[in-house]
Amino acid sequence: MTTSSREFVYGKFSDFYGDPSTIIPPPTLLGQRELGFLLLKERIMLRHKGFANIRDLKLFLGEAVPSDVYRSCAYYENPTVEMDKKGWLGADLVFDIDADHIPTSCDKLHDEWACSKCGFSGKGVTPEACPICESQKFNTKTWPCEVCLESAKEETAKLIDMLGKDFGFSDKEVSVFFSGHRGYHVHVENEAVKTLDAMARKEIVDYVSALGLSLLGGEAKGRSARRRRSRGFSLHNFGWNRRLKLGLRDFVLKATKEDLINAGVKRNYAVILRNKELILKRCIDEGRWSSVKGVSVGTWRKLAEYVKDLESAKIDTVVTTDTHRLIRMNGTLHGKTGLKKVEFPAKHLEDFDPFEEAVAFKEGTVKVVVSDVPKFRLGGRVLGPYKRQTVEVPTAAAVLLICKGRAEVAS
């Protein structure tokens, strides 16, 4: 980033935090939270900060001008002292759904990664470790693409559905946010979850991601297990049983030849396609899995495994189990986009438009030199694609392009 680009972004972030009309909704019990800031100019992280009220925090933000503002999911007696002396009182249950963890059809078009140790590079989702040298540090180039954000939204919808129907959390206890970059955050504030330890949170992670789901009995060995397996399985109307039942119903109803082949049914797909109505009624609704000739219990196991993957929610598991995690604060800017983290009602998830509702800079235009960017939509405008050209774009787009390393302010 050139000096003039850095100064431009600093100026915009400074205006945002200095503006008296900017609203930063404080988290529950702000005084018990640890706050952290990444400073825009100095590029250093300040941690272990605490604020008694939102007015003091706003004053600080106006002076310090951070690129990113974080607050703890945890509540502490003393949030500003070192970690093991803070006095942990509990933590909200948080989920992070990020396009970085969801393979999509377009990630190979706009995402790249390069190992920072050996330089090996590739396209699409960044691997956990470098296939050449096993280093876990990468330089990545990503884009908050509309298609990727739409798939993150679908994962979020599945998660919210589980939190309500399977765990019984009320709408009031579940808050949903756009992260400001490539995904969504879901927070649960409830007395029963507040003091859960990391192990208990891992159990919840396993549930929503269907890890170790055993009702299909595929793991057990021995003759009796084999006999049980061949008899099929029963799906009742709660939890994952219900999810698999509805998921199978939905899948079979809409399935094409290609869908069935993808699901591993390579030979007898025609029988399923010919007998959809009968199969839905006898097999799925009545649980008589082997009652349609040509569709075996084995086929149903394959389909159930496939549907399990479709119905599970792809979350970043590390975030949920960390009881000391700092997470971006609602109403603040994301340093990689200049978009705001914003909260919206869960029931508006489907209609929520991050490229409209998270826009912070709504006035003026700026001339920028763009290196390379796909076509994108922001604040009611469709822009790009641009490749090595100078263009005048709305301020929000200029901030986004510069923060993503795709453009510099034109001199």
Binding residues (CB under 5 A) for Zn ion: these are 106, 115, 117-118, 120, 130, 132-133, 135, 145, 147-148
Cα distance between the two ends of the chain: 13
Q: Taking the complex as a whole, how short is the minimal distance between the CB of residue 148 and Zn ion, in angstroms?
A: 3
Helix H segments across 141-281? 146-165, 191-194, 198-208, 223-231, 239-254, 257-262, 269-274, 276-278
Question: Phi and psi dihedrals of 89, rounded to 5?
Answer: -105, -15
Nearer to Zn ion, 95 or 376 (CB): 376
Three-state DSSP at 204 gives helix
Nearer to Zn ion, 111 or 311 (CB): 111
Nearer to Zn ion, 117 or 377 (CB): 117
Nearer to Zn ion, 247 or 354 (CB): 354
Sheet with 342-344: strands ordered across: 93-98, 183-188, 174-178, 342-344
Please report the DSSP string for 14-56 in residue order: HHHHH-TT---PPPTTGGG--EEEEETTT--EEEEE--SSHHH
b/e code 4-16 from CB counts within 10 Å (16+ = b): ebbebbeebbbeb
Nearer to Zn ion, 57 or 145 (CB): 145
Q: Taking the complex as a whole, how short is the minimal distance between the CB of residue 123 and Zn ion, in angstroms?
A: 12
Q: Taking the complex as a whole, how short is the minimal distance between the CB of residue 56 and Zn ion, in angstroms?
A: 40
Query: Which of 230, 299, 307, 292 shows the shortest CA–CA distance to 267?
Result: 299
Q: Taking the complex as a whole, how short is the minimal distance between the CB of residue 110 and Zn ion, in angstroms?
A: 6
Q: Taking the complex as a whole, how short is the minimal distance between the CB of residue 391 and Zn ion, in angstroms?
A: 22
Q: Taking the complex as a whole, how short is the minimal distance between the CB of residue 401 and Zn ion, in angstroms?
A: 17
Task: Give the span between the Cα atoms of 229 and 231, in whole angstroms.
Answer: 5
Q: Taking the complex as a whole, how short is the minimal distance between the CB of residue 134 and Zn ion, in angstroms?
A: 7
Q: Taking the complex as a whole, how short is the minimal distance between the CB of residue 109 and Zn ion, in angstroms?
A: 7
Nearer to Zn ion, 4 or 139 (CB): 139
Nearer to Zn ion, 88 or 120 (CB): 120
Nearer to Zn ion, 25 or 127 (CB): 127
Q: Taking the complex as a whole, how short is the minimal distance between the CB of residue 115 and Zn ion, in angstroms?
A: 3
b/e code 322-346 from CB counts within 10 Å (16+ = b): bbebbbbbbbbbbbbbbbbbbebeb
Nearer to Zn ion, 129 or 192 (CB): 129
Task: Give the span between the Cα atoms of 300 and 302, in whole angstroms.
Answer: 5
Nearer to Zn ion, 107 or 408 (CB): 107
Could you tell me which residues come within 8 angstroms of residue 212 by beta carbon, excluding any fewer than 6 positions away? 206
* Number of C-beta neighbours around residue 191 at 10 A: 8
CA angle (176, 181, 167) in 5-degree steps: 25
Q: Taking the complex as a whole, how short is the minimal distance between the CB of residue 111 and Zn ion, in angstroms?
A: 8
Please report the DSSP string for 370-409 in residue order: EEEE--EEETTEEE--EEEEEEEEEHHHHHHHHHTTSEEE
